[in-house]
Amino acid sequence: AAGLIEAKGYSVAISGIDVVGQDETCTTDGKSWPCGVRARTAFRSLLRGRAVVCLVPPEGGRDLIAAECRIGKQDVGQWLVENGWARAAKGGPYVEAGDKAQSAKKGIFGPAPNLAGIPAAPAATAP
């Protein structure tokens, strides 16, 4: 999901955001679309091949840990929210960025992607 990282047996949720689950759907102008899958794909593209550093609290266990994460100087939570791929947590540090993303209709707040002209995946064939 967009905002969840699993590594070395840990599950880290980016703090300050409400994670968009991969099974979430959004509806814009009466059209329903798989915005959770799109959010996860955008998040994976951000992370791909990059070192992510998270400030894991010392009391963090082996369950889900909420932590601030960065890629270099880029705040991962800020990126997710300002691009509309996660919602800002109420009272959190990204509320203003979330309002701007919503106003600009970015990510999950925008229209369904136009997939016209992109061929459908071929049907699976039996071996």
**What total number of domains does the chain contain?**
1
Predicted local distance difference test score (pLDDT) of residue 65:
87
Predicted local distance difference test score (pLDDT) of residue 118:
63
Task: Tell me, yes or no, whether 114 lies in a domain.
Answer: no
Rounded Cα gap, residues 99 and 5, in angstroms: 25
Domain of 98, in residue numbers: 4-109
Q: How many CB atoms lie within 10 A of CB 4?
A: 16
Predicted local distance difference test score (pLDDT) of residue 33:
92
Predicted local distance difference test score (pLDDT) of residue 123:
55
Task: Tell me, yes or no, whether 64 lies in a domain.
Answer: yes
Predicted local distance difference test score (pLDDT) of residue 113:
78
Predicted local distance difference test score (pLDDT) of residue 64:
83
Rounded Cα gap, residues 65 and 14, in angstroms: 8
Task: Tell me, yes or no, whether 65 lies in a domain.
Answer: yes
The whole-number mean pLDDT for each consecutive block of 10 residues of the chain, a chain of 127 residues, reads 85 92 89 92 92 80 84 95 96 95 94 69 55
Q: How many residues does the chain have?
A: 127
Task: Tell me, yes or no, whether 38 lies in a domain.
Answer: yes
CATH code, domain with 34: 2.40.50.90
Task: Tell me, yes or no, whether 87 lies in a domain.
Answer: yes
Task: Tell me, yes or no, whether 72 lies in a domain.
Answer: yes
Task: Tell me, yes or no, whether 53 lies in a domain.
Answer: yes
Residue given tokens 């794909």 in the structure block: 41
Rounded Cα gap, residues 102 and 108, in angstroms: 8
Task: Tell me, yes or no, whether 117 lies in a domain.
Answer: no
